[in-house]
């Protein structure tokens, strides 16, 4: 008798710290037959898995992909067709620059059941743990998320929109393109003195935050040899960190 198909749970693992998982995420991880996880999933998160669960790494790092996206999609379909309860575990939130939409479209096409559990996205985690509120009534009345990395390796963003005043700009995967980002935002109207921060490993014990301006942050990042995973926050709210930093030792 053919095994009835299983289900794929698309789960956000948050920014890294295990305690930031949702209760639902923790429950699904603890009961899963198979966990397909990304590079940015904190090590403590996987400790919640059953001892007999299949834990399959499919992480992507700059210049090195364990599997391409089509292969990951096919792996999820195969596991579910084997009748397994599968957790597809992604850092942050799977619907914010996590390719979650691409993966569940593949599941829909294959007729596989799925559900989605949101996670604390990197922007929220980095903001909270660095003491930089993303919005403030007198400083930033809007907040924009963008990605600094495209599938073709370019960084071609809507610079006029990102350079609008009175907003906070958060750029995921932007450290490598920081010199371009800085130059373009200045060229499109933001002051070179606009505060900016680069936050690496947000919420984890080795979190590191570099503060600067649009003009000098690229050189500070280069000098400090700050590498991904890191997130950029640009805007006047960065000035608030001096009084609001509660987590990171400076």
Encode the chain (250 residues) as per-residue pLDDT tens digits: 566 889 999 999 999 999 999 999 999 999 999 999 998 898 899 999 999 999 999 987 655 557 899 999 999 999 999 999 999 999 999 999 999 999 999 999 999 999 999 999 999 999 999 999 999 999 999 999 999 976 565 678 999 999 999 999 999 999 999 999 999 999 999 999 999 999 999 999 999 999 999 999 999 999 999 999 999 999 999 999 999 999 997 6
Q: Which residues contact 229 (CB under 8 A, 6 or more apart)?
A: 40, 91, 122, 200, 201
- What is the Cα–Cα distance from 62 to 132, expressed in whole angstroms? 27
Q: 158: helix, coil or strand?
A: coil
> Active-site positions?
38, 60
Number of folded domains in the chain?
A: 2
Domain-ending residue, one of 117, 142, 175: 117
229 falls within a domain: yes
249 falls within a domain: no
Domain of 197, in residue numbers = 122-244
222 falls within a domain: yes
250 falls within a domain: no
In a shared domain, residues 131 and 204: yes
- The answer to whether 118 and 12 have CB atoms below 8 angstroms apart is yes
In a shared domain, residues 171 and 85: no
2 falls within a domain: no
């Amino acid at each position: 008798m053919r095994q009835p198909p299983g289900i794929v749970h698309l789960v956000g693992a948050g920014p890294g710290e295990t305690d930031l998982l949702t209760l639902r995420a923790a429950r699904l991880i603890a009961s899963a037959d198979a966990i397909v996880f990304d590079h940015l999933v904190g090590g403590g998160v996987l400790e919640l898995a059953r001892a007999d669960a299949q834990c399959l790494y499919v992480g992507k790092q700059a210049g090195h992909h364990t599997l391409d996206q089509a292969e990951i999609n096919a792996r999820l379909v195969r596991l579910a067709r084997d009748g397994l309860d599968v957790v597809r575990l992604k850092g942050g939130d799977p619907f914010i620059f996590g390719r979650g939409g691409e993966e569940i479209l593949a599941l829909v096409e294959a007729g596989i059941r799925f559900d989605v559990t949101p996670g604390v996205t990197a922007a929220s985690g980095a903001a909270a743990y660095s003491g930089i509120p993303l919005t403030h009534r007198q400083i930033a009345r809007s907040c924009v998320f963008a990605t600094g990395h495209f599938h073709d390796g370019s960084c071609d963003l809507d610079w006029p929109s990102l350079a609008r005043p009175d907003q906070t700009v958060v750029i995921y995967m932007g450290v490598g393109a920081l010199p371009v980002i800085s130059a373009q935002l200045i060229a499109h109207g933001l002051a070179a003195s606009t505060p900016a921060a680069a936050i690496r490993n947000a919420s984890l014990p080795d979190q590191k935050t570099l503060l600067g301006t649009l003009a000098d942050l690229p050189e500070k990042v280069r000098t400090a040899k700050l590498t991904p995973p890191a997130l950029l926050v640009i805007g006047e709210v960065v000035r608030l960190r001096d009084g609001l930093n509660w987590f990171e030792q400076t």
